[in-house]
């Protein structure tokens, strides 16, 4: 199969996946026995208002007609109107997604920068103190709930030590830079607003670390095991026999090959980060898409939940597509 066919097949598959997500979110949000009209109007509203709103929102129509209407809208880029905020869901997504991007991208960068060296050290000093420490770090990372790690770190680094700022994206004293991209770091750089840049980075450290912790641990573990595999290969023995310094053997000869599985896993954990941002954003008062979707769940705001989920599914699929295409380009065996 040549590259073009491969790309076409992958794109078709992606459309199928996104359609699946759409169907599932629609079905799930419409079969659960809860009434969004009641959630909007609360307990006091008179019956006539309830009936009127139900008609106005089209909830009195049969389910399949509602689905067709939603599908038709989604195809044209109209994700409906949020029941709660009364604004187009697409506008809401545009408002909240940049904060999520900033958080998840920082988290994955942190996870890579911390996870790979950790894995390499673990493998190189197998069953020594470094290895054990790194392994405990990884196990803690995989098993601790995000909200717990988040609160403990906040107590320690913000409340006790005062090294890092508290919840939110910026301190009150700092005026945000003009929002061209709504990515604070980028906007501050573009505006040359250094105080905002420092402050925004400081605010990013804790939530990004908490969010990236699980990914860090996963990356470290995968790097360690693939490193160990590689270290027993013949060519490493040869390198050592040639009398190369151990550091050169590990970093130049072993790591380069050991990183292939790591790269794969990075693509996968990125999707997990998008999901994990839901909790992290709530704890750290991060005004992102995860928070928007959670509030949507609580208030039975179906269009918000469906639109947000669909959007994340699309982003995740695109990221995966890019990762896979890069592979296919680099390693023709994958296309088979």
Left if phi > 0, otherwise alpha if psi is -120 to 50, otherwise beta: which for 45? beta
Min CB(17)–another protein separation in Å: 29
Q: Which residues bind another protein (CB under 8 A)?
A: 33-36, 38-39, 41-47, 49-50, 53, 84-86, 95-96, 113, 116-117, 147, 151, 154-155, 158-159, 161-169, 171-173, 198-199, 201-202, 204-205, 247-248, 251-252, 255-256, 282-285, 287, 291-292, 295, 300
User: What is the full DSSP assignment across 168-187?
Assistant: SSS-TTSPPPP-SSS-HHHH
How many other CB atoms sit within 10 Å of the CB of residue 225? 15
Min CB(5)–another protein separation in Å: 34
Q: Which is nearer to another protein, 5 or 56 (CB)?
A: 56
Min CB(76)–another protein separation in Å: 21
Q: Which is nearer to another protein, 16 or 298 (CB)?
A: 298
Min CB(242)–another protein separation in Å: 18
Min CB(197)–another protein separation in Å: 8
Angstrom distance (rounded) from CA 54 to CA 237 = 73
Angstrom distance (rounded) from CA 87 to CA 78 = 12
User: 3-class SS at 331?
Assistant: coil
Angstrom distance (rounded) from CA 232 to CA 252 = 15
Dihedral pair phi/psi, residue 81, rounded to 5°: -115, 135
Residue ranges in the chain assigned as alpha helix (H): 3-31, 36-41, 47-56, 63-75, 89-124, 129-143, 146-153, 184-191, 194-231, 234-241, 246-248, 255-283, 289-298, 302-330
Min CB(150)–another protein separation in Å: 8
Q: Which is nearer to another protein, 281 or 324 (CB)?
A: 281
Min CB(10)–another protein separation in Å: 29
Closest alpha carbon to 307 in 36, 22, 60: 22
Q: Which is nearer to another protein, 107 or 328 (CB)?
A: 107
Q: Which is nearer to another protein, 9 or 180 (CB)?
A: 180
Q: Which is nearer to another protein, 271 or 287 (CB)?
A: 287
Min CB(148)–another protein separation in Å: 10
The answer to whether the beta carbons of residues 206 and 158 sit under 8 Å apart is: yes
Per the structure block, which two tokens stand in for 316?
């995740």
Q: What CA–CA distances, in Å, run from 162 to 157, 169, 336? A: 6, 16, 55
Orientation angle between helical segments 89-124 and 184-191, nearest 10 degrees: 100
Q: Which is nearer to another protein, 31 or 75 (CB)?
A: 31
Q: Which is nearer to another protein, 26 or 209 (CB)?
A: 209
Could you give the count of Cα atoms lying within 13 Å of 275 in the half-sphere of its Cβ? 9
């Amino acid at each position: 199969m040549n590259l073009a066919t491969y790309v076409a097949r992958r794109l078709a598959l992606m459309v199928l996946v996104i359609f699946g997500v759409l169907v599932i979110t629609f079905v799930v949000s419409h079969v659960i026995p809860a009434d969004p009209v009641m959630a909007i109007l609360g307990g006091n509203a008179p019956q006539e208002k309830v009936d009127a709103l139900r008609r106005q929102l089209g909830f009195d129509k049969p389910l399949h007609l509602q689905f067709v209407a939603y599908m038709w809208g989604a195809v044209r880029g109209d994700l409906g109107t949020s029941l709660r905020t009364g604004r187009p869901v697409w506008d809401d997504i545009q408002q909240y997604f940049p904060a999520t991007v900033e958080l998840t991208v920082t988290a994955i960068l942190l996870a890579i920068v911390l996870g790979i060296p950790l894995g390499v050290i673990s493998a190189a000093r197998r069953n020594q103190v470094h290895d054990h420490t790194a392994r405990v770090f990884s196990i803690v990372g995989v098993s601790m709930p995000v909200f717990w790690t988040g609160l403990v770190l906040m107590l320690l680094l913000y409340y006790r030590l005062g090294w890092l700022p508290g919840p939110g994206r910026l301190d009150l004293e700092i005026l945000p830079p003009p929002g061209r991209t709504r990515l604070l770091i980028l906007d501050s750089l573009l505006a040359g607003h250094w105080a905002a840049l420092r402050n925004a980075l400081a605010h990013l450290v804790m939530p990004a670390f908490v969010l990236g912790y699980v990914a860090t641990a996963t990356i470290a573990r995968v790097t360690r095991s693939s490193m160990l595999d590689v270290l027993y290969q013949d060519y490493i023995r040869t390198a050592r026999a040639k009398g190369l310094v151990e550091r050169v053997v590990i970093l130049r000869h072993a790591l380069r090959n050991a990183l292939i599985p790591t790269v794969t896993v990075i693509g996968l954990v990125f999707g997990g980060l998008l999901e994990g941002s839901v909790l992290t954003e709530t704890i750290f008062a991060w005004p992102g898409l995860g928070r928007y979707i959670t509030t949507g769940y609580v208030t039975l705001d179906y269009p918000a939940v469906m639109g947000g989920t669909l959007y994340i599914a699309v982003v995740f699929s695109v990221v995966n597509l890019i990762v896979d295409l890069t592979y296919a380009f680099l390693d023709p065996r994958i296309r088979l």
